[in-house]
Structure 1
């Protein structure tokens, strides 16, 4: 396990994914690229297919960007993709968004404005932009809160009408 409990994986040149701990346990001779998480390895597999089918021009793993010289601060992204039109995209696969990453992201965007950066997470078996997931989550939360507020309002109305009947009922009993 690496940090954040991610399972390290090895992806061979043909795109086969092996969990690193199994390779070590059984002392297998597996040659390939080591990734810090299974999600990164799976995205690498997707990139291999996209390159094979001509959807992207090229890609590289673990590109390093210097954000500051003194003290030296570097940002190592997960992938750098060159699209068919020659434009470049930086891809970062995230399971957890840390405060350190957020600071480095802001520095990166300020220093490298020509690069488009995409932060992806895996949801329901496919890679989607983190911003999209955040928007969907916020929309679900708003809808849930709206329903809760409606239910609470209905419960208040029911309580008030019930309390009103109760009071009238007691008053009637007291008069007898």
Structure 2
């Protein structure tokens, strides 16, 4: 497990996903590509299917991009996908967006402005852009805050109405 509780996995050429700890524990002889998280392994399985069905031309795992020469800064993406028309896109699977990643993302976009990058996360069994998840989370938070504000306002009015009634009774 990594610091973000991601379990490392190995995916074989036929697309079978194995947890790395199981392979080590039982001393299995499994060859395949190692991924830092189960989500990455599952996206690799999805890319294998897309290539098989002719939806994409090809893909590369863990392509390395040099972002800066001195001091040397590199970025290792999760996938470089080649579309049917020959265009390419970088795909990165994230559970948590770290500050280091945000800095490298800005450097990447400055150095490779024509190469689009997709940052995806898994939500309810589907890979969706992380920006969509952030927008939905922010909308939920705004809705909750509005409800809290509304209920506090109603409680405030109820208290002032009660206090006014007490004052009116005391004046009699």
Unpaired runs of at least 5, structure 1:
none
Moved over 4 A (4+): none
Residue aligning to 1:56: 56
Corresponding pairs, count? 172
Deviations 1:60-102 (A, max 9, x none): 0000000011111100000000111111110011111111111
Matched, 1:163 2:141: no
Q: Distance in 2 between matches of 1:43 and 1:155?
A: 49
Matched, 1:114 2:114: yes
Residue aligning to 1:140: 140
Within 5 Å, give how 1:17-166 maps onto structure 2.
Answer: 17-166=17-166
Paired residue secondary structure (1:54): coil
Paired residue secondary structure (1:95): coil
Q: TM-score under structure 1 normalisation?
A: 0.94
Question: What is the CA distance between 1:2 and its match in structure 2?
Answer: 2.7
Deviations 1:111-144 (A, max 9, x none): 0011100001111111110111111111111111
Deviations 1:43-73 (A, max 9, x none): 1011001111111111000000000111111
Q: Distance in 2 between matches of 1:135 and 1:96?
A: 15
Q: TM-score under structure 2 normalisation?
A: 0.97
Unpaired runs of at least 5, structure 2:
none
Q: Distance in 1 between matches of 2:12 and 2:3?
A: 23
